[in-house]
Structure 1
C-alpha cells in the first residue's frame, strides 16, 4: 500500500515495536547491548508504562508498521513567583528506520515533538544530539545556548 506516514502518540500495543527501534538504534550507534533483545523489549515496555506521565512517545507509522519514534521527556521545574507552574522538555531517542531516512521524516518527528511541547506549555526543549543529526535539529529551530551547560557524571573507566 505504501501510504503517507502519520505521526501520533504511541499506542500500548506498539511499544514492543518502539523497543525494537531503540534496540536497532543502539546497535547502529553504540555497539554491543548489555542485555538480551527480549529482556530489553520487556523492560522498555514496562518502563514506558511506568513513566507515561513524564515521557511521551510519538511514533511514525506507515501501513500499520512503526517506522520511527521520538520521545519527549518532561521535567517539572521549580516554581517561580512569575510562573508558578513550569516545565521543560528534552527530545530523546529520535529514530527512523534506515530505508526511510533522508526523506524528511525525521524532521517531521522533530516538528511533532515541538508541537507537543508547545501544547503542553513547556518553557523550552533541549536535545543531546548525535553529530549526524545536528543539522536536522538546527533546521527545525534548535540553536546552541551559551547558558546551557552539562557535566558528565556517569562512571568513567579508572574513576
Structure 2
C-alpha cells in the first residue's frame, strides 16, 4: 500500500516545488529549455512566502504533488476588523499518482488551514476537468466574480 504524506512546504522544499512546477509545464507544453527557471522560482518563493502557504505531497520522500494558497487581507475599515481570504492555486499531482486521493489530501490541508486561520472564503479558478473534483471537496460555482484581461 502506498503511503502519501502531505505537509506544509518550507524553504528547503523549493527545489522539489520547482521540479513539480517544471513537470506541470512540460506536461502541458513539452520540454521547455529554461536554465534559469529554478533560480527564478526560488526568488519568487522567497518574495511570496510571506503571504503564501504551500503544501507538498510525497511518497517515500519523493515529491508527487503540490498546492499553494495565497492569503489576502482586506483593507481595514472603521469599526470592523479586516478579514482574510485565500486563493488556491497551482494544484498539481504527477500523472502516475492522479485519481488516487493525493489532490484531495492537498485540498483538505488547505481547507483545514482556512478554518484554523479564520479565512472567510477560499476561491480558485478550476480547469474544466477539475470542476467535479472541487465540487466533491465542497466548492461551489459562482458567478459573482468579474475578470479584466488586457486586449491584445
Name the TM-score, length of structure 1 as normaliser. 0.86
Partners of 1:82 and 1:135 lie apart in 2 by 40
1:90 aligned onto 2:87: yes
Partners of 1:128 and 1:115 lie apart in 2 by 19
Aligned to 1:78: 75
SS in structure 2 opposite 1:66? strand
1:24 aligned onto 2:46: no
Alignment counterpart, residue 128 of structure 1, candidates 105, 125, 130: 125
Alignment counterpart, residue 105 of structure 1, candidates 96, 102, 106: 102
Partner deviation per Cα, 1:107-153 (whole Å, 9 max, x = no partner): 11111111112222211110011111111111101111232222223
Partner deviation per Cα, 1:37-77 (whole Å, 9 max, x = no partner): x3111111121112111111100022111111000011111
Runs of 4+ in 1 over 3 A off after TM superposition: 32-35, 80-83
* Cα pair 2:52 2:70 within 8 Å, conserved: yes
Alignment counterpart, residue 68 of structure 1, candidates 65, 68, 71: 65
SS in structure 1 opposite 2:139? coil
Specify every segment of 5 or more residues in structure 1 that has no aligned partner in the other structure, as ranges: none
SS in structure 2 opposite 1:112? helix
Name the TM-score, length of structure 2 as normaliser. 0.89
Decide whether aligned partners of structure 1 residues 146 and 81 sit closer, same or farther in structure 2, where only a CA change above 3 A counts.
farther
SS in structure 2 opposite 1:24? helix
SS in structure 2 opposite 1:67? strand
SS in structure 2 opposite 1:149? coil
Specify every segment of 5 or more residues in structure 2 that has no aligned partner in the other structure, as ranges: none
Aligned to 1:11: 10
Root-mean-square deviation (CA, aligned residues, Å) is 1.9
